Structure 1
Amino acid sequence: MTAVIAPAAPQDVAQLRQLYFDVYGHGYPVALGSDPAEMRRLIDDPHTHWLTARHDGTGRTAGSVVVQTDPGSRIGKLVGLAVHPDQRGSGLAGRLTAAVCEDAFATGALDSVYATVRVVTPGPQQVFARHGFQALGLLPNAVEVAGCESLALFARHADGVLARRAVVDRVPAGLAPLLEATRRSTGLDFGRPRAEGEGPGEPSARRGAPATGPMELITAPGFVGRRFLERFPDPGERFFPLHVPNAVLTPPDGAFEAYADLDPVAASCSLIAVHPSPAAASGALEPLMAAVTRAGADYVETLLPLADTAGLGAFLAAGFIPSAVYPAMRRIGDRFHDHVVLSRTSRQIDFRATAVSEPLRPYLRAYLTAWTSTYLPLPEVAP
């Protein structure tokens, strides 16, 4: 039976909710598949591209896909790709992916679209790889769906964007395995940046962050949003596309404020910005992780420019693992700047249930190398 692809409409919400239930059961952690009010808001949002696939004749919803965009950063996120179980293997997932990307890029308002892809089966990875997306890294333990799952980062760029990447002349030594994995998987050239500091496995890289007192967690979205804008009045300092802080973490003495997008349903937390600087929080990682774990998040990630050697070094020293690279993520003037995702999980990582496709295997090896050298110090042998 042929499926017709068309924009979603408010009257589709009930069938869309049923579709996501049929695909994921009660475990889907994203509001666009479970919250009717949020679904209607997104359907009406001019910055959101939502397509559905309906059976020709019956009108029953067979598939769905969404690209949410952040106009200020010229980035989109593909989410909610779902195909009814009786349509699997029909090519419908690929048709939806191609159609929604064509719609999103046709506006001329986007430089790239990214997606975080489940790795419990190889099918979703293959769909994205066949439609212009490149594998950019792994996010271990990133989300709670049917249990704790790892995700893969994929991105697709508009024509000509990757050719205008800014050159980075120095990076922390701890990023070397990830950059090499990206080169092997995508063919992208990072030049020959000078490696600074000690590499993974060296004494300072293995040293844990010093313990501090308990962390205070404030989860008041309105207050946090206003405070965030006061602390970061310059839009250039607030670059974390499609994430809005709803929580702030601070030690009792107020030495720093860490702004986060905390999602207990997905068991994840995105660390958006730290005031006065990322380095200010590096000595307080353990209580920060303890606070977000108590709030229901086992996974914390942050995003930093590849050129921010000091910030990257601070998080590497604090036990964050370089997980993914997003090339040409941010446009400044006529150049595009690469960014790095660093993550840390408080739950044991188990890759036995993952189906890692060939483009992702270099990233798995790089992650295991970085994690081992950070958390499993080499035995010291007395002379």
Structure 2
Amino acid sequence: MTAVLERATPSDIADLRQLYYAVYGPHYPTALGTDPAEMSRLIEDPDTLWLVARCPDTDGLAGSAAIHSEAGSRIGRLEGLAVHPGQRGTGLAGRLTEALCARTLDAGRLDSVYATVRTVSAGPQRVVTRNGFRPMGILPNAVDVSCRESLALYARHSAGVLERRHPVTEVPAPLAPLLRNLETSLGISYAHTLPTAPSPAPPRAPAGRLEMIEAPAFVRRRFHERFPDSDQWFYPLHTPNALLTPDDGHFEVYAYLNRTGGYCALVAGHPDPSAAAAWLEPITRTLTRAGAGYVESLVPLAHHSALSAFLAQGFIASALYPAMRRESDGFHDYVVMTRTTEQIDFRGVVVDKPLQPYMDSYVAAWASTYLPAPPAPEVVS
């Protein structure tokens, strides 16, 4: 019989944990499918829509998915999409995804929803593609499940949002292939955005010790003291739990570190991100020692100097999220700058056709960043 879709309730938590174990094994890296307290909080959170698919004859759970957002935010994240192995091939993943989008995007509650999609098979990519999501980039080594996995970034926008993007006049030239991919994938135009030479690299960080403070409650309080106005920073659905600062304290970098998944997001810098630009290398090394094999940061497409600073420190423009942030009547595009300190192995990655150009451009960008330039041909007179 056809599974019935309904909102998850706290009484479903035990069955949900069994479902995620059946689908992902013991290595699922997020609390959504493993931590009963966090699952209960999300189920009761008014900014989270969590649906389950229930078998009417057995009352057991055949699938689950959620769209999570934040108060005051109009961007959501599709997460926890899981279909019981016995129900695969029934179209249930697509039903769950479309039902969630209909109640959030189509209902006008959100401007866009994004998903980080596994690349161990083409199935997850095809599910979101069939439901209106479009690829925006590749996130190499983004999460540690049973091994290091690369993810793909997809998003779906509400009608009319992409047409209201703020124009950007210039970007560092290494981002040009990413812009061309977005033009093809989403049918948008960057014809008036000029690729220019990156800004000069910031000076090397002076000698000094970098301290890392992992005290989530303290970091959260200090973060809100430093950034009482959310217009000063933007990193949806990531609350910092770590603080990095040099001996003299002339800057503070706030980060979200997930030790289980082995990844980290650089959320904000005080007094300004430029104050830490010269320290990106030691910051990355410190986070690597703390267990982050993958580090990412969101940078506005319009911030040429910030993008240049990340490029100079070995970060690669892996994805571009157009119309990610609303400002008055328009939207700003954001670039996902990533760096992985672990060996990248794409041999097990399955890339569906719409995602292939992003894989190709990432590989080319990685090679130009980390491989020596070929010697100039000798001129024989």
Q: Please give the range of the TM-score, normalised by the shorter of the 2 chains.
A: over 0.9
- The equivalent residue for 1:253 is 248
The reply to whether residue 240 of structure 1 matches residue 262 of structure 2 is: no
Letter in 2 for 1:261: Y
Corresponding residue for residue 295 of structure 1: 290
Moved more, 92-101 or 104-113: 104-113
Over 3 Å counting, the alpha-carbon distance change for 1:15 and 1:325 in structure 2 is same
The residue aligned with 1:170 is: 170
Instruction: Give yes or no for contact 1:184–1:362 (8 Å, CA) kept in 2.
Output: no
Q: 1:209 to 1:142 in 2, by over 3 A?
A: farther
- Tell me how far 1:106 sits from its aligned partner: 4.9
User: 1:115 and 1:88 mapped to 2: Cα distance?
Assistant: 20
Q: Does 1:73 align with 2:73?
A: yes
2:36 maps to what in 1? 36
State the distance in 1 between where 2:146 and 2:203 align. Answer: 32
The one-letter code matched in structure 1 to 2:272 is: S
Q: Distance in 1 between matches of 2:344 and 2:286?
A: 20
Other-structure match for 1:17: 17
Where does 1:256-267 land on structure 2 (aligned, <5 Å)?
256-267=251-262
For 1:143-190, what per-residue CA distance to the aligned partner results, in whole angstroms no more than 9, with x for missing partners? 011210000000011111111111111111121121112223332211
SS state of the match for residue 310, structure 1?
helix
**What is the rounded CA distance, in whole Å, between the counterparts of 1:307 and 1:353 in structure 2?**
35
Q: Does 1:186 align with 2:181?
A: no
Deviations 1:105-162 (A, max 9, x none): 2552210010000011000000000001010000000001121000000001111111
**1:103 partner amino acid:** R
Shift of 1:317: 1.1
Separation in 1, partners of 2:311, 2:203? 10
Number of matched pairs: 378
**RMSD over aligned Cα, in angstroms?**
1.9
3-state SS in 2 of match to 1:15 = helix
Contact 2:198 2:304 in 1 (8 A): no
Aligned partner (choices 213, 222, 234) of residue 218 of structure 1: 213
Unaligned ranges ≥5, structure 1: none
Please name the residue that 1:325 is paired with. Answer: 320
For residues 171-223 of structure 1, the C-alpha deviation after alignment (integer angstroms, 9 at most, x for no partner) is 11121121112223332211221222249xxxx78x99657444211011121
> What is the TM-score when the length of structure 2 is the normalising length?
0.95
Q: Is the 8 A contact 2:106 2:158 kept in 1?
A: no
Structure 1 residue 158 and structure 2 residue 153: aligned?
Answer: no
User: Is the 8 Å Cα contact of residues 279 and 315 (structure 1) preserved in structure 2?
Assistant: no
Structure 1 residues 271 and 225: alpha-carbon distance in aligned structure 2, compared to 1, 3 A threshold? same
Q: CA deviation at 1:51?
A: 0.3
Is the Cα contact below 8 Å between 1:138 and 1:324 reproduced in 2? yes
AA at the equivalent of 2:302:
A
Distance 1:264 1:215 in 2: 19
Does the 8 A contact of 1:177 with 1:370 survive in 2? no
Deviating 4+ runs (over 6 angstroms): none
Alignment of 1:1-383 (within 5 A): 1-198=1-198, 212-381=207-376
Structure 2: 5+ residue runs without aligned partners? none
Q: Distance in 2 between matches of 1:192 and 1:339?
A: 17
Q: Distance in 2 between matches of 1:298 and 1:186?
A: 31
Alpha-carbon distance in structure 1 between the residues aligned to 2:204 and 2:79: 35
Percent of aligned positions that are identical: 56
The worse-fitting range, judged by mean Cα deviation, of 207-216 and 287-296 is: 207-216
Q: Is the 8 A contact 2:198 2:305 kept in 1?
A: no
Q: Distance in 2 between matches of 1:211 and 1:290?
A: 15
The TM-score, its normalising length taken from structure 1, stands at: 0.94
Whether the 8 Å CA contact 1:8–1:43 is kept in 2: the answer is yes
Report the secondary structure of 1:304's partner residue: strand
Question: Aligned to 2:236, what secondary structure does the other structure show?
Answer: coil
* Equivalent-residue separation in structure 2 for 1:211 and 1:147 (angstroms): 36
Shift of residue 380, structure 1, vs aligned partner: 4.4
Partner SS for 2:347? helix
User: What's the CA shift for 1:254?
Assistant: 1.8
Matched residues in 2 for 1:186 and 1:212: separation? Answer: 45
> Higher mean Cα deviation, 220-229 or 340-349?
220-229
